[in-house]
Structure 1
C-alpha cells in the first residue's frame, strides 16, 4: 500500500488545497492529510475546526477515488510525521517560483534526515495558483468576497469568524 502525506496548516482549507488533495489521490492508496500545529503562525481556526473542515471537504473523495483519506494533526518534524504515518512520499503543492525555492531547501534537509521518503510536487492548477490561505483570511477580514477561493462551507466559517 502506497501512503502519501500532504501537510499544511489548512487555515483555512482552500480550493487550491482541495485540488492538490484530489490529484494526490490518484498517486497513492492512502492519503494522510497532516494538519500542522504551528505555534509560530497563530492560526485563525483552532486545530479541531481545521481538522473538521478538511474532513468535511474530502469525505466524498474516498468513495469516489478508492483512496483512503485520513487526517492527522502533527507538531513534530514533517519527516518524522511522514515516518509516523508510514508515508513513502510527501506531497507538496507549488504555486510559484518562490514556493519552489523554499520547498527545494526543505527537500534537501528532509533527504538528509530520512532518504527513504520521497517528496512529490504537484503544480497548482492555473485558476488556483494565486490562492493563499493568508490572503483569503485578509480578504475575508476586510469584508471581501472569498467565494472564488474556498468552498461555501469554508466561506460561511470565515464569515462567522469575522462577523461584526
Structure 2
C-alpha cells in the first residue's frame, strides 16, 4: 500500500507521456498551481464524466492559475482516443508502470463492489507553485468531484 501524501509534502516529480507521446513533467509547471488527478481508466463512464467536468471548468481553473493533469495507467494511444472522442482539453498522461500513481498514494488496495482489489484509487492532489502539496483528496467520487473541488479551493465563479 502506498503512502498517502499530506499537505506540506514535496510533490513527487514525474515525467510521463501525454496522449501524443510528448513528455510532460510536473517541473514544467513550476510557478503555477497544478491539479493532478488520478483515475482508473480512459473511456470508462466515471472517468469520462470526471474528465469532462475538468474540461468544462478548465477556463475557470486556468483563470485562477491552475493547470490540470490527469494521470491513468493507460498508454498514450488510448489517451488520444479518449481525448478525441470526448473533446477533452485537460492534459492526460499515462503511467503504465504505475510508479507515479504509487508515489502519490493513488494505487493500492481499495474496495470495489464489496471486494478488496488492488488498483487505482481515484484521487486528486493540488500542488502549489513551488511544488509542495497544498491539498489531497483520496477516494473521491467521479461525479460531482470537480464542483466540490472548486468549492473547497474557494474558486466559485464570480456572480455565483
Larger radius of gyration: 1
In the superposition, the TM-score normalised over structure 1's length comes to 0.37
In the superposition, the TM-score normalised over structure 2's length comes to 0.37
Instruction: Identify, as 1 or 2, the structure richer in helix.
Output: 1
Instruction: Identify, as 1 or 2, the structure richer in strand.
Output: 2
Using CA pairs under 8 Å that are at least 6 residues apart, name the structure with larger relative contact order, 1 or 2.
2
